[in-house]
Amino acid sequence: MSPKFSYTGNAINTSLPYRLVHIHNNAGSPAPVANTLRFFTNIGLSESSLNANDAIVQIKIRGYSLVDSSPIEIISSAVLTNKTNTTINENSSDITYLTPGGVEVSLFIDDATKTLGFTVFNEKGNSGLTFDTYIRINGTTNLDFEPAIVKCDYDSGNPQESIKVNTETSAHLFSN
C-alpha cells in the first residue's frame, strides 16, 4: 500500500482495498481434480466479520487454465444484505468474465456460517488450474477485518482447511 494512501467520497472510509488473500494451484498437485471447486471465506455481515447491514464484496481471480490453454480473469461482485441472515442480492450482484475460456464462477452463502463463498467450475476439469484470489470490500464499519479463504472443497462435501502462509517475514512469504 502506498504511504500516501487516501480516500474520497464519504466523510469516513468504509472500504478495504483489493488484497491478495489466496493462491490456488492444481499444477503438479496430488489433489483430486474435480470439475467444481468450492471456496469458503470468512466474509459475512455479523459483528465478528464486516459488522454491517449490507456490503459489496468483489472477488477477483486471475490465473491460468491448463485444460483451456487460456488466462483467467474474473470479477465477482456480491451485494450482501441482511445482517442477521446474510443473503446475496441476486439483482445487484454480477460476475464479469474479462477473458474467454471454460472457467465459470458462482457465488453462494454457506448455510452453516452465513459467510460468502464461491465456486470455480470447468467441465473439462481443473487439472493444471492456477489462480490468485483478491478481495475488495465496500460498506464495512470494521476496517481491521482481514478477508480470507478459510476452506476449499474438491467436490467431496468435506471441505479442507486452507494452508496458512507465514507472512511474518518476507523470507517465508511463499514457503510452506
pLDDT of residue 56: 97
In terms of C-beta density within 10 A (0-12 exposed, 13-18 middle, 19 or more buried), how is residue 28 classed? exposed
Q: Count Cβ neighbours within 10 Å for each residue of 40-75 and write b for 16 or more, e otherwise.
A: bbbbbbeeebbebebbbbbbbbbbbbebbeeebbbb
Dump pLDDT digits (tens) for 22-43. Answer: 999 886 555 556 688 999 999 9
Closest CA to 39 of 160, 169, 128: 160
Task: Dihedral sign for Cα 158, 46, 146, 79, please.
Answer: positive
pLDDT of residue 172: 52
* Mean pLDDT of all residues belonging to the chain: 88
**Contact by Cβ (8 Å): 133, 24:** yes
pLDDT of residue 146: 94
Mean pLDDT, consecutive 10-residue stretches, the chain (176 aa), reads 84 92 77 78 93 96 92 97 94 94 94 95 86 96 94 84 74 54
pLDDT of residue 91: 96
Angle at 116 between CA 27 and CA 149, to 5 degrees: 40
Output the nine-digit C-alpha cell for 4: 500516501
> Residue 41: left if φ>0, alpha if ψ -120 to 50, beta else—which one?
beta
